[in-house]
Structure 1
Amino acid sequence: MRDGHLEARPVRLAAVVLAGGQARRFGGRDKPMVAVGGQPMVGRVLTAAAEAGMAPRVVVGPPREGLPAGVVVVQEEPPGGGPVAAVAAGLAALDAEAGVAARRAGDLAALNAEAGVVALRAGDLAALDPEAAVAARQASDLAASDAEAGVVGLPVLDAEVGVGLPVLNAEAGVGLPVLDAEVEVVALLAGDLPWLSADAIERLVGALGESDGAVFVDESGRRQVLCGVWRARALREAVRRLASVQGASMRALTEAMNVVEVRWEGGRPPYFDCDTEEDLRRVIDDE
């Protein structure tokens, strides 16, 4: 809370990068791994997503060496099943990541009873030791303002006893806070966008509002659906509506969704994708 007003809760963001396909017009090369400015194109996309605060980041495609640490790699089923199959695989990977986080929070919460005993002991000791009481209050203040610190606990040392005792979430007193692991907004990004930037992604997130999605449109007004951000819940519902994800088009996936169209002004378009060798030469010449 600041100046008597509740601060807006941060929206949890993630990125799903589609990096499969056959690249038939690219001489059979692994197009997302072709370097531009010394970095693979898919690496540039992942960097932009990270700088825009997106985590986790999922790449849908075959296993590759040289991807940034912490990136989750999954394969659509069947391999080569098309962009919607890749989107479904990416969403499933995000759900799996959220499940891991929830289980970790659950494991911590399962220690509730023991933590409560420790908290009481810490309180008893602090009451007997003014120095420990000060340290406890300072640690509690930090734990209350820092969610991560509240999860791991902050040690309070009792000088007389010489034993470290964890201070738990100050508001709850006992137990550990449960993390909100569910991703709310997902960026769907092609793996061959060499001019994508964090600024472009942030512009899309800012335009999203209450809509299901926000995408860039090119000069002709065509939606660039693999350079957009989407409500995760709306995406999941759209996937469920399809009879089959295999071979389905992105248009079929998104046609019933409420989408904001964003025009890019100010330089190289972030939605420009390298479909051909000629596109790549254009990008390299502009570097």
Structure 2
Amino acid sequence: MDHPPASTDLCAVLLAGGTAARLDGVDKASIEHRGRTLLEHALAALVDAGEVVVVGEPVPTSRPVTFTRESPRYGGPVAGLLTGRDALARRPRLLGVLAVDMPRVTAATFRRLQEAAEGRDGAFLADADGRRQLAGVLDLARLDAVRPDLEVQHGMAMRALLADLDLADVPAEGDEARDVDTWTDLRDLGD
């Protein structure tokens, strides 16, 4: 089903930092799948976002983005999300968040997330077991309202940050929720 383009009131933070310890420290964003880097797959999923901040090492991209590093460095996804949020030039109504290692997430995924977030504080993709994945949209004002102090952000779990928000869980279609944490995960993605 074709969906109309999402509102330009969406900006996004693409989480591409981290140590990738189970991938021998290789930069996940630069790993190729189907002839494109994981970073390019993620940027394609965020095509409807008016602005994208990539939290990770600067590399050439197919579209203009802003690069930043999380503070504190290697502070985890909450530190990355909030650092990326602070690097936005715009103040959108909705903020998308996506981990770079989810190449099966598409623009259609984000359109479903936006639809599910209407009237709520946001929506996140959920795997077959009901676990939330690092693919979602958040009402920016509500995110700002639950934002912890800087010293608490380091190592904070995303579920702790989002615990007080009214979030919709959007069931993954097919293998949208698959991520690449190991070389075996990459191999098992297939074509």
TM-score, normalised with respect to structure 2: 0.91
Q: 2: distance between equivalents of 1:241 and 1:77?
A: 12
Matched, 1:257 2:168: no
- Is 2:185 the partner of 1:276? no
**2:97 aligned with 1:188, yes or no?**
yes
Residue 138 (structure 2) pairs with residue 230 (structure 1): yes
Residues 83-118 of structure 1 show CA distances to partners (whole Å, capped at 9, x for unaligned) of 111111111011xx12xxxxxxxxxxxxxxxxxxxx
State the Cα distance separating 1:68 from its structure 2 match: 2.6
1:58 aligned residue: 53
Q: Counterparts of 1:192 and 1:185 in 2: how far apart (Å)?
A: 22
- Asked if 1 retains the 8 angstrom alpha-carbon contact of 2:16 and 2:100, the reply is yes
Q: 2:14 aligns with which of 6, 12, 17?
A: 17
- Aligned residue for 1:45, secondary structure, equals helix
Alignment of 1:121-160 (within 5 A): none
Amino acid at match of 1:195: R
- Deviation sequence 1:172-200 (CA, Å, 0-9, x none): xxxxxxxxxx3111111001111111111
Report the alpha carbon displacement of residue 62 of structure 1 after superposing the two structures with TM: 2.1
Partners in 2 of 1:88 and 1:200 — Cα distance?
A: 22
The AA in structure 2 aligned to 1:271 is: A
Distance 1:184 1:279, change over 3 A: same
Instruction: Name 2:85's counterpart in structure 1.
Output: 91
Instruction: Determine the C-alpha separation between the residues in 1 that align with 2:171 and 2:149.
Output: 29
Counterpart Cα distance in 2 of 1:278 and 1:198:
26
Asked if residue 31 in structure 1 is aligned to residue 18 in structure 2, the reply is no
CA-CA distance at 1:243 after TM superposition: 5.8
For 2:183, give the aligned amino acid.
Answer: E
Residues of 2 paired with 1:49 and 1:262: CA distance? 17
Mapped to 2, the partners of 1:200 and 1:228 lie a distance apart of 9
TM-score normalized with structure 1 length: 0.62
2:121–2:167 contact (8 Å) kept in structure 1: yes
Consecutive aligned runs of 4 or more in structure 1 exceeding 4 Å deviation = none
RMSD of aligned residue pairs (Cα, Å): 1.5
**How far is 1:214 from its partner?**
0.5
Counterpart in the other structure of 1:214: 123
Task: Give the Å deviation of 1:258.
Answer: 0.6
Deviates more, 1:242-251 or 1:36-45: 242-251
Identity of aligned residues (%): 36
2-side partners of 1:45 and 1:87: how far apart?
15
- Superposed CA offset, 1:55-80 (max 9, x none): 201100122x2223311101111211
Matched residue of 2:67: which SS? Answer: strand
Q: What is the deviation of 1:242?
A: 7.3
Q: 1:200 and 1:85, CA in 2 relative to 1: closer, same or farther beyond 3 A?
A: same
Corresponding position of 1:117: none
The residue aligned with 1:48 is 45
Partner Cα distance (2:146, 2:15) in 1: 18
